[in-house]
Structure 1
Amino acid sequence: MKSIKAFLKEKGLYLVCLALVFAATITGILAVRNVVHGVGELTEAKQRQLEEESSWDSPDATVDNKTENIPVETPQPSSTPSASSSVPGSSSGAAAPSGGKSVVTGPSAASSGGQGSSSAASSRGTVSAPFSGDELVYNGTLGDWRTHNGTDYTFPAGTVTVRAGGTVTGVEQDALWGGVVEITGSDGVTWRYCGLKDIRVDRQDTVAAGSILGTLDEIPAEARKEPHLHLECLKDGDYLDPERQ
C-alpha cells in the first residue's frame, strides 16, 4: 500500500496529464467526425440545388412566352411552281381596277366546259402547314418557336381566289408577309390573304367567292419555303382555323 501511495505521489502529475491528453484526443476525434458529417450534408444539399437549377436550362422546358403569327416550317409539295418575280415595292401593292371601285360578281377562277365543280374544289388549295392554335411551332426561316395563326396553302396554277365574299378592307405590303389583302364579310369575319403579287383588287372593292385575287409570291418570314398562300381568319380579334370556317 505504501508503495502504491508513493508511486501515485511521484507519478500522479504524469497520470493527470496523460488523462487530459487522452480526453483531448477523444474530443478531437469526435469534433472531426462532426465536421466531416456536416461537410457531407452540405455537399449533398448543394448537389441537389445544382441539379434543380440545371433542370431550368433544359431545352425540353416549357416555353412560356409565345410569339404569334409565324408558321411552321413544312416541306412543300414538289408540284408547287416557284414565283417568277417578287412583290412590287409600292405601299398599296395592288393594281387598282380600271374605272374606279369595281364589284367582282363571278368566280373568275372557274374554267368553262362543265368543269366548275372541279375548279371550286381546287380553288381552296392544298394545305401545306395547318393552323396551330395555342401550340408553338418552329419557323426555320426566323429560327424560333411561334404560334401559327393561319393555314398555308399551295396552288398548282399559282392563282389565288377568294375563299369567302365580302368587302376589301385592306391592301398592303407587309415586311414579313409580303402582299396582303384583307376581305371582311357581312358576318364580321375578316380573311387575310398573305403572300400575293399581281393583286387584282383595291380597297373598298366588293368581291365574290371564287374571284381571282392575284398570284403566289414568296413570303419574307418563310423565305425557305416555296411560294404559297398564308391565310388567316379573324373574328372579334380572335384567330380561327380557316379549315373549319
Structure 2
Amino acid sequence: MNRIISFFKGKGFYLALSLCILAAAGSSFWAIRNVMQKLGEGGTSQVEQGGTQQWDIPGAQVEEKVNDVPKPSARPSQGSQSQSGAGAQQGQAGGSGEPADAAVPSFVKPVAGQIVQGFSGEELVYNATLGDWRTHNGVDMSCAADAAVKSAVAGKVVNMYEDGLWGQVVEVDAGETVWRYTGLDKTTLKVNTGDELEAGQMIGKIGETMAETGAETHLHLEVLKGGNYVDPEHYFQ
C-alpha cells in the first residue's frame, strides 16, 4: 500500500497533466463538431472525383449601389471641336501654319515691259556701255521711251538725287526693303521726298541711264534689304 502511495506521489504531477490534455482534446473535438454541423445547415458540401471538397454558395446577388457616377455625354467636348475645326482650317490653308486670310503685300509692275537682264548677285557680267565686267545689282525692264514708271509697292519716298551713271534716282522705303528706281526723267517727276506712295502710283517717266545707254530703253530697278542688294524678281507676283 505504501508503495502505491509513493508511486502516485512521484507521478502525480504527470498524471494530472495528462488528464488536462485529454480534457482539452475532448473539448476541441466537440467544438469542431458543432461548427461542422452549423456549416452543414447553410450549404451542402460536394466531393468531386479529385477528392476536393467544395461548398455551394447561395445564388442570391448582393445589391451594391454607387451614387454620383457621372453619365457620359453624347456631345463632343468643346476642346475636341476646336481642335478638329482648327485642323480642317489648316488643311484648307495648305498646311502653311498661317491664317488662310493672311494679307499678301500688293505688287504692281513698275513698267509694262519684260525683264531683259536679270540680277547677277556676286557673278560678274559684261557691261557693253562701260566696256568692263561688273555685277548687275538689279533688273532691267524694257519699256517705251516715254513710259510711266509706277511704284511697285507702297512706301515712303526717302531719297531723290541725280547720279552720274544712273541718272535721276528715286528711293522708296517699303519697310523691310528699299526700292531704287533709276534713269528717270527729272522733268516728269510726280513725287517729293517724304511722300507716302501707294502701289501703282506714278513716280515719273522713264529717262536715260548713262551706265546702260548701249541697251534698249529700260528701267533699271534695284532692291536693298538690310543694306544689301537682293533680287527684285523675288518680289514679283
Question: Could you state the TM-score of these two structures normalised by the residue count of structure 1?
Answer: 0.48
In structure 2, the residue matched to 1:227 is 217
Please report how far the alpha carbon of residue 123 of structure 1 lies from its aligned counterpart in structure 2 after TM superposition: 4.2
Please report how far the alpha carbon of residue 218 of structure 1 lies from its aligned counterpart in structure 2 after TM superposition: 1.4
Please report how far the alpha carbon of residue 122 of structure 1 lies from its aligned counterpart in structure 2 after TM superposition: 7.8
In structure 2, the residue matched to 1:85 is none
In 1: Cα distance, 2:209 partner to 2:171 partner: 16
Please report how far the alpha carbon of residue 191 of structure 1 lies from its aligned counterpart in structure 2 after TM superposition: 0.4
Residues 202-221 of structure 1 aligned to structure 2 (within 5 Å): 202-221=192-211
8 Å Cα contact 2:178-2:225 kept in structure 1: yes
Please report how far the alpha carbon of residue 226 of structure 1 lies from its aligned counterpart in structure 2 after TM superposition: 2.8
Please report how far the alpha carbon of residue 227 of structure 1 lies from its aligned counterpart in structure 2 after TM superposition: 2.6
One-letter amino acid of the counterpart of residue 237, structure 1: G
Residues 146-161 of structure 1 aligned to structure 2 (within 5 Å): 146-156=134-144, 158-161=147-150
In structure 1, the residue matched to 2:116 is 128
In structure 1, the residue matched to 2:156 is 167
Question: Could you state the TM-score of these two structures normalised by the residue count of structure 2?
Answer: 0.50
Number of residue pairs matched by the alignment: 125
One-letter amino acid of the counterpart of residue 184, structure 1: D
In 1: Cα distance, 2:193 partner to 2:128 partner: 33
In structure 1, the residue matched to 2:166 is 177
In 1: Cα distance, 2:140 partner to 2:116 partner: 5
Q: Which of the numbers 178, 183, 189 marks the counterpart of 2:177? A: 189
Using the aligned pairs only, state the percent identity: 45
Please report how far the alpha carbon of residue 167 of structure 1 lies from its aligned counterpart in structure 2 after TM superposition: 0.5
In 2: Cα distance, 1:202 partner to 1:122 partner: 18
8 Å Cα contact 1:218-1:226 kept in structure 2: no
One-letter amino acid of the counterpart of residue 171, structure 2: E
Please report how far the alpha carbon of residue 124 of structure 1 lies from its aligned counterpart in structure 2 after TM superposition: 5.5
Please report how far the alpha carbon of residue 125 of structure 1 lies from its aligned counterpart in structure 2 after TM superposition: 3.3
In structure 2, the residue matched to 1:54 is none
Q: Are residues 121 and 175 of structure 1, via their aligned partners in 2, closer, same or farther at CA, if it must alter by over 3 Å? A: closer
8 Å Cα contact 2:110-2:150 kept in structure 1: no
8 Å Cα contact 1:133-1:149 kept in structure 2: yes
Which ranges of structure 1 fall in alignment gaps of 5 or more residues?
1-119
Task: State the structure with bigger RCO (CA 8 A, min sep 6), 1 or 2.
Answer: 1
CA RMSD of aligned residues (A): 1.6
8 Å Cα contact 2:110-2:151 kept in structure 1: no
Q: Are residues 121 and 227 of structure 1, via their aligned partners in 2, closer, same or farther at CA, if it must alter by over 3 Å? A: closer
One-letter amino acid of the counterpart of residue 212, structure 1: M
